[in-house]
Structure 1
């Protein structure tokens, strides 16, 4: 028996000192992709590259029981202002090690050894999945089209993140 699609409430956060709603290509791409897939946009925001500002928004979202997943874009590079992994990783109850590994493996076919510069990470915090993606729209497209569209779909077998959602807050 085929499982039914279950829409996920997803928040999207763009981390950037320079982007606005008018030119946020990566945030727009993620919004369009998740809505086209049948998911719900719980909230969308842009925040400056500041670990405390990033952490404040993500903390608010993980405290909101209506938000089931968060996708961030930007701030995963290695420059002095890139701090998304540092801002968010400390919030994780569990890290999803395979996400970053798989993202870099898939990216290698397109950007070759430049994928080594990606610090894409993912984890679970307070029962909420969090995925931190690079800021390029190409990287967001890769992450959504090759990983997230499948793992955020209850019909994907043998396993997916949606099946785990009811059990994420178990003690």
Structure 2
């Protein structure tokens, strides 16, 4: 019988991408922070940036370059409005894209919101041993992404596989 693997806490940062949110109104960012803490990971920092490709890249690049940051969760900017630019900002930073994340998110989300899920351009990828998950800005979407997908993939005990071995 194989011994159960021990939990490995990760260092996780949260980036809220929005032209309208601030610390008092950033409920989706707060939801992700609370999820990180409830899962007993180490919450490192939360930053709010305007939906601007270069501001997004600046913050993500800082965390990607930091060897102590294992994961980044972003919320916002994944839709089709004129200013939504998260996928365009983030994808060039990836060493490898986690293609299955967007596919799985939309599949799970379909059960909740039906065909409207096609308007989600959520993406994920690896960059310098940091995994980045980009979620839509709604609380429901963040809860779905965290609870149904990301939380397990950042848990070293999750079988048959998870991302922890790639990050630590």
Partner secondary structure for residue 90 of structure 1: helix
Given the alignment of the two structures, is residue 87 of structure 1 paired with residue 89 of structure 2, yes or no?
yes
Q: Structure 2: any 5+ residue segments left out of the alignment?
A: none
* C-alpha distance in structure 2 between counterparts of 1:102 and 1:124, whole Å: 17
Shift of 1:79: 1.2
Q: Partner residue of 1:156?
A: 158
Deviations, residues 55-84 of structure 1 (Å, cap 9, x unaligned):
111011100111110010000001110000
Partner secondary structure for residue 129 of structure 1: strand
Query: Of 4, 17, 29, which residue of structure 2 is paired with 1:15?
Result: 17
Given the alignment of the two structures, is residue 115 of structure 1 paired with residue 117 of structure 2, yes or no?
yes
Query: Of 84, 102, 105, which residue of structure 2 is paired with 1:103?
Result: 105
Given the alignment of the two structures, is residue 75 of structure 1 paired with residue 77 of structure 2, yes or no?
yes
Whether the 8 Å CA contact 2:57–2:89 is kept in 1: the answer is yes
Given the alignment of the two structures, is residue 4 of structure 1 paired with residue 6 of structure 2, yes or no?
yes
Query: Of 20, 28, 31, which residue of structure 2 is paired with 1:29?
Result: 31
* C-alpha distance in structure 2 between counterparts of 1:108 and 1:124, whole Å: 25
Query: Of 135, 138, 145, which residue of structure 1 is paired with 2:137?
Result: 135
* C-alpha distance in structure 1 between counterparts of 2:167 and 2:90, whole Å: 20
Given the alignment of the two structures, is residue 51 of structure 1 paired with residue 53 of structure 2, yes or no?
yes
Whether the 8 Å CA contact 2:129–2:166 is kept in 1: the answer is no
Query: Of 84, 109, 126, which residue of structure 1 is paired with 2:128?
Result: 126
* C-alpha distance in structure 2 between counterparts of 1:39 and 1:136, whole Å: 22
* C-alpha distance in structure 1 between counterparts of 2:18 and 2:96, whole Å: 26
Shift of 1:91: 0.3
Query: Of 141, 147, 150, which residue of structure 1 is paired with 2:149?
Result: 147
Q: Partner residue of 1:64?
A: 66
* C-alpha distance in structure 1 between counterparts of 2:56 and 2:161, whole Å: 30
Shift of 1:165: 2.0
- Report how many aligned residue pairs link the two structures: 166
